[in-house]
Homo-oligomer: A and B are copies of this chain.
Amino acid sequence: MPETGSSTGKLLLRALKGEKLAVPPIWLMRQAGRYLPEYRALRAKAPDFLTFCLTPELASEATLQPIRRFSFDAAIVFSDILVVPHVLGQRVEFREGEGPALAPLVDERDIGKLELARVAERTRPVQETLRQVRAALPREVALIGFAGAPWTVATYMIEGGSSRDFARTKRWAYADPRSFAALIDCLVSATTSYLLGQIEAGAEAIQLFDSWAGVLPETEFRRWIIEPTRRIASAIRARHPAVPLIGFPRGAGVLYETYAGAAGVDAVSLDSTVPLAWAREHVQTRRAVQGNLDPVLLLTGGSAMAVAARAIVTALRTGPFVFNLGHGILPETPPEHVTALVELVRGGSARA
């Protein structure tokens, strides 16, 4: 466990680098989004979701809205993990109320058509968003960049959207690991380039979202989750050793421990099902941890939320720790529950 001993600097970065803090820093996954009325008003200004993500004036404003309202310790650039398939030239659409729809990759030739050389140029709007946000952020607030991890992005590219059993993706990986590795390699390169660009534009920490990490047996988890993450992490570390990387292998279960030891990340984001005592012993002894309030408890509010949030803080603040949810904020969440949660984590007496 690194002990930097630093007592200056942004709280989020200090915790991610291994420092124990008396009051944990807090931010929430999907803290910018549909649960905020000001977001819904802003969203109406773009014809579609991808245009919204790639218009710096709109995306930067969306990023800043929750900071103004809740004074979180970190902002996370407003974007989407499917920006990477989009800039690789795959057709990606977001249909209202239906989730994303992609023209699915069907065979190795489709992988060969991906336009890796265009990633840097096509992701410039995200860099511009980061620059605008960084210039506007209060000095104590850290700026997080992010991307989807290769496995999770690959599932969308092959399934053509979200999936129940991931049968197409897994079958491809099982039956033809060589061509599946070509897709993962392409995504490692694209993601590395994209994240380096984000750091150069002002991101001070990075989160890799592996939302569908929880569907693979151990052998494939090591090959398609841990190994690509490790490659991205070492490429980033080589250029920007001070920028911490948070990995979020949602649903990894027992394999959270393996991931913490081998994926090369500075911090591990825990989903809500990870038991706190186990996380403290098996994950937090190796890395900083982040998490893990059930988003449905934030939706519920009241004493159920308060009891659970206090239990998390009590269990995890004895090591390096960032308070967060176990998954993104649900759209129906009342914003006042978020206010109450922030006060509670910071030790205020408010009850949601």
Contact = CB atoms under 8 A, between A and B. Distances in A.
B308 A217 contact: yes
B165 A330 contact: yes
Contacts of A305: 174
Contact of A251 (B214, B255, B300): B214
A235 interface: no
A46 interface: no
Tell me whether chain A's interface is mostly helix, strand or loop, or mixed.
Answer: helix
A332 B299 CA distance: 38
A175 interface: yes
A171 interface: yes
A137 interface: no
A218 to B, nearest CB: 4
Interface residues of A, number: 43
A170 B294 contact: yes
A300 to B, nearest CB: 4
Contacts of A171: 296, 299-300
B278 A254 contact: yes
Interface string A218-256: 110100000000000000000000000000000111111
Nearest to A294: B217
A305 B311 CA distance: 43
Contact of A276 (B166, B218, B278, B297): B218
Given A330-B165, A330-B167, A274 B254 contact: yes
A350 interface: no
A306 to B, nearest CB: 11
12 contacts: A167-B299, A171-B300, A174-B297, A215-B273, A217-B272, A217-B292, A251-B253, A251-B273, A252-B253, A253-B253, A254-B275, A255-B273
Closest 6 A/B residue pairs (Cβ):
A253-B253, A170-B296, A218-B275, A174-B304, A174-B300, A175-B300
Interface of A: 165-167, 170-171, 174-175, 214-219, 221, 251-256, 258, 272-276, 278, 292, 294-297, 299-300, 302, 304-305, 308, 311, 326-327, 330, 332
